[in-house]
Amino acid sequence: MKITMAHGSGGDSTSKLISGVFSKHFSNKYLDKLGDSAVVPGASRLAMTTDSFVVNPIFFPGGDIGRLSVCGTVNDLLMSGAVPKYLTAGFVLEEGLDTEDLEKIVESLQKTAEEAGVQVVTGDTKVVEKGAIGGLIINTAGVGFVPEGIDLGPEKIKTGDRIIVSGYLGDHHVAILGSRLGIENDIVSDAAPLGEMTRALMEAGLGIRAMRDVTRGGLGTVLNEFAESSGKEIRVEESFIPVSPTVKDFCGILGLDVLYMGNEGKMIVVVSPEDADSALEIMRSSKYGENAVGIGEVMEDSDSPALVLRTEIGGLRTVGPLYGEGLPRIC
Amino acid sequence: MKITMAHGSGGDSTSKLISGVFSKHFSNKYLDKLGDSAVVPGASRLAMTTDSFVVNPIFFPGGDIGRLSVCGTVNDLLMSGAVPKYLTAGFVLEEGLDTEDLEKIVESLQKTAEEAGVQVVTGDTKVVEKGAIGGLIINTAGVGFVPEGIDLGPEKIKTGDRIIVSGYLGDHHVAILGSRLGIENDIVSDAAPLGEMTRALMEAGLGIRAMRDVTRGGLGTVLNEFAESSGKEIRVEESFIPVSPTVKDFCGILGLDVLYMGNEGKMIVVVSPEDADSALEIMRSSKYGENAVGIGEVMEDSDSPALVLRTEIGGLRTVGPLYGEGLPRIC
């Protein structure tokens, strides 16, 4: 089998590649959970994650590869309930890259690290031939500590739980795609570190079951993973899915489905029904969550657990994870 | 300024790029040490490191990019006195890569992780367009724990300390270069995890001051860094530098200097004079250290600390770190 761009989509093909090639060999009790970060025992509990950023272009409306490479990794740690502490930064540079551009990116990375409350503690630099990678690739790995008593994960999801999304979907996707196609619009990437929001949720002691940032593969892929891990149907009201008017128009023109669009500063929270209102209020009063909204709930156990949309005219439609390519090099 | 291949050499240009662009922005007390891994406080002390592997070709005599990406990262942790525990693995795959090749690499990575006693606990996969990177790039970040009482570093180096190198130099460099040039020879890469050797050294409670794996940039670059950090002259007997006859011939023909050749399973140990013999004996009886040998010693404080070679005819020659390109994509 040959690798195709679809293997990088974050959807179905990526997941097949991971289970077919990686999980088979690397199997251990931490990795087998296939979370976005691994929680491993330490003197305290450590969370670890890694992400390589291959976004093209490296500067885009609302951000750059430097900001992205902090947000992606920090958010992965946050979703496991961890407090992010340290980042490593591995740069693969292309011969001919302008060091002024590199410096802008490094500065943006550092500024975002400060915003997220993490320190970049070690790094590595490699150079590859011109024309190879479109500027640079950044890998960031992150380490955080998981406080006592915190134990989140899609396997904790219960029937009746509510699904909240933290804001408008698709902005990062449209910012990247618009920028590549040269389409003028005022949409900027939503790339943001979500620590303020998750910290407030954790500190409130609510019945949070699981959190997940909605990146490559989009809402449709995340909620299918949640359905599968919990063994339950997840039902979402299509009309409640938050999308800004400009993104909605952009998607309409290009025939894109917001369910599969990537974001870099949006998350899903699954919370007990009695705490749903409090969670929503906390999210709405935090920096990157003002447009948070409840979109659905967790139904009964199911033999074929899936994401089901209730459409605007009242019908039910089962929705799979992303198949095929998605947008290459979105993060 | 434009990035050139020299910025990836691990020598002088890399170091200028790091101080000129990265250190300026990322400055904090962990990163500022510019060690190959950072030791950060945790409930225990954590060591963290990251390395991106861009080696070309991805399969070479004696190893592959998978084995390399464990050895490089694990060895960086070991050099800080840490016990490596967990790895993250970030794969950037090229469209068109054969999944059979990918699987061989993943298998080799896992086998080497087992040899090194570490677990790959989380991963990430991205795909870039065909022709971009020559197969794949792997980033591994590593986390280890530093036992109480262990505190190594070139700033601990004292006058009179001995310099030991763990075996023949240049094998990995020649294996990669020979393979690219299609030169037939029987030299295989020395890529190896050095945990058995460092563990034995640590457990013996010897006066070990500093350890460093001799990778990109070679012995000349490492010993210049040690001279600079300690503020002392480091004097090495040229004729003691261990090189296999085949590598010596290869270097002779191509005009290569073994002082600047990269290795992936060799290390330098700086040890107190009274413990030098014991250290040497321990290294020689460990798996990858049978050809370990003392090559020199640490002299007095110096206003211009440097590496000085005593040549075979008795002259003294000051030797700088690697300038310029070195061999691109060696690791």
CA distance B23 to A194: 26
Please report which confidence band the pLDDT of residue A280 belongs to, taking 50, 70 and 90 as the band edges: very high
List pLDDT tens digits, range B275-285: 999 999 999 99
Q: For the beta carbon of residue B328, count every other beta carbon within 10 angstroms.
A: 21
C-alpha closest to that of B138 among A80, A165, A190, A124 = A124
List pLDDT tens digits, range B179-208: 999 988 899 999 999 999 999 999 999 999
CA distance A70 to A89: 9
Q: Return the residue of A nearest to B141 by Cα.
A: A141
Do residue A48 and residue B21 have CB atoms under 8 angstroms apart? no
**Hey, of B122, B129, B130, which one would you mutate to test binding to chain A, going by the most A CBs within 10 A of its CB?**
B122
Q: Return the residue of B nearest to A52 by Cα.
A: B90
C-alpha closest to that of B78 among B218, B322, B288 = B288
Collect contacts of A324-327 with beta carbons under 8 A, ≥24 apart. Answer: A324/A6, A324/A9, A324/A11, A324/A12, A324/A13, A325/A4, A325/A5, A325/A6, A325/A9, A326/A6, A326/A9, A326/A10, A326/A11, A326/A216, A326/A217, A326/A218, A326/A260, A326/A262, A327/A9, A327/A173, A327/A176, A327/A177, A327/A261, A327/A262
Q: What percent of chain B has pLDDT over 70?
A: 93
One-character DSSP codes across B100-152: HHHHHHHHHHHHHHHHHT-EEEEEEEEEE-TTSSSSEEEEEEEEEEEPTT---
- Name the E strands within chain B: 38-41, 45-53, 59-60, 63-64, 83-94, 119-128, 136-146, 162-165, 208-213, 232-237, 267-271, 293-301, 307-310, 316-319
Do residue A42 and residue B43 have CB atoms under 8 angstroms apart? yes
Dihedral angle of Cα B76, B77, B82, B87, to the nearest 10 degrees? -160
Q: 48-107 in B: which are within 8 Å (CB) of A?
A: 48-54, 85-86, 88-100, 102-103, 106-107
pLDDT given at position B35: 61
Backbone angles phi, psi at A94, to 5 degrees: -95, 135
Is the per-residue pLDDT at B43 higher than 60? no
Indicate the SS3 state at residue A190: coil
CATH class of B5-145: alpha beta
Q: At what angle do helices A276-284 and A195-203 cross, to 10 degrees?
A: 140
Indicate the SS3 state at residue B282: helix
Identify the helix (H) or strand (E) that includes residue A49: strand A45-53
List pLDDT tens digits, range A105-158: 999 999 999 999 999 998 888 989 888 788 999 999 999 998 888 889 999 999
Cβ B119 vs Cβ B89: under 8 Å: no
In the chain, the amino acid numbered A237 is E
Is the per-residue pLDDT at B254 higher than 80? yes
Token couple for A299: 């139904």
Nearest by CB to B4, from A52, A95, A143: name it: A95
Q: Enumerate residues 6+ apart whose C-beta is below 8 A from A278.
A: A204, A206
- A194-198, A323-327, B308-312: the lowest-pLDDT one: A323-327
In the chain, the amino acid numbered A329 is R
In the chain, the amino acid numbered B321 is P
Please report which confidence band the pLDDT of residue B13 belongs to, taking 50, 70 and 90 as the band edges: confident
pLDDT given at position B19: 75
Please report which confidence band the pLDDT of residue A237 belongs to, taking 50, 70 and 90 as the band edges: very high
pLDDT given at position B182: 92
Q: Enumerate residues 6+ apart whose C-beta is below 8 A from B145.
A: A42, B42, B44, B45, B46, B47, B82, B83, B85
Q: For the beta carbon of residue B245, count every other beta carbon within 10 angstroms.
A: 8
- Cα distances (angstroms) measured from residue A153 to each of A34, A101, A213: 11, 39, 13
Q: Which residues of A touch B42 (CB under 8 A)?
A: 42-44, 46, 145
What mean pLDDT value characterizes chain B? 91
Task: Provide the whole-model pTM.
Answer: 0.90
Do residue B90 and residue A42 have CB atoms under 8 angstroms apart? no
pLDDT given at position A43: 52
Token couple for B278: 């014991």
Q: What percent of chain A has pLDDT over 70?
A: 94
Tell me, what's the ipTM? 0.88
Query: How is chain B split into domains, by residue range?
Result: 5-145, 154-319
Please report which confidence band the pLDDT of residue A324 belongs to, taking 50, 70 and 90 as the band edges: confident
List strands edge to edge, sheet with B316-319: B208-213, B267-271, B162-165, B293-301, B232-237, B307-310, B316-319
List pLDDT tens digits, range B285-297: 999 999 999 999 9
CA distance B222 to B11: 9
Indicate the SS3 state at residue A286: coil
One-character DSSP codes across B209-231: EEEEE--TTHHHHHHHHHHHHHT
pLDDT given at position A28: 73
pLDDT given at position B18: 66
Nearest by CB to B119, from A28, A96, A102: name it: A28
Is the per-residue pLDDT at B263 higher than 60? yes
Q: Give the CATH number of domain B154-319.
A: 3.90.650.10
pLDDT given at position A305: 94
pLDDT given at position B238: 95
pLDDT given at position A34: 63
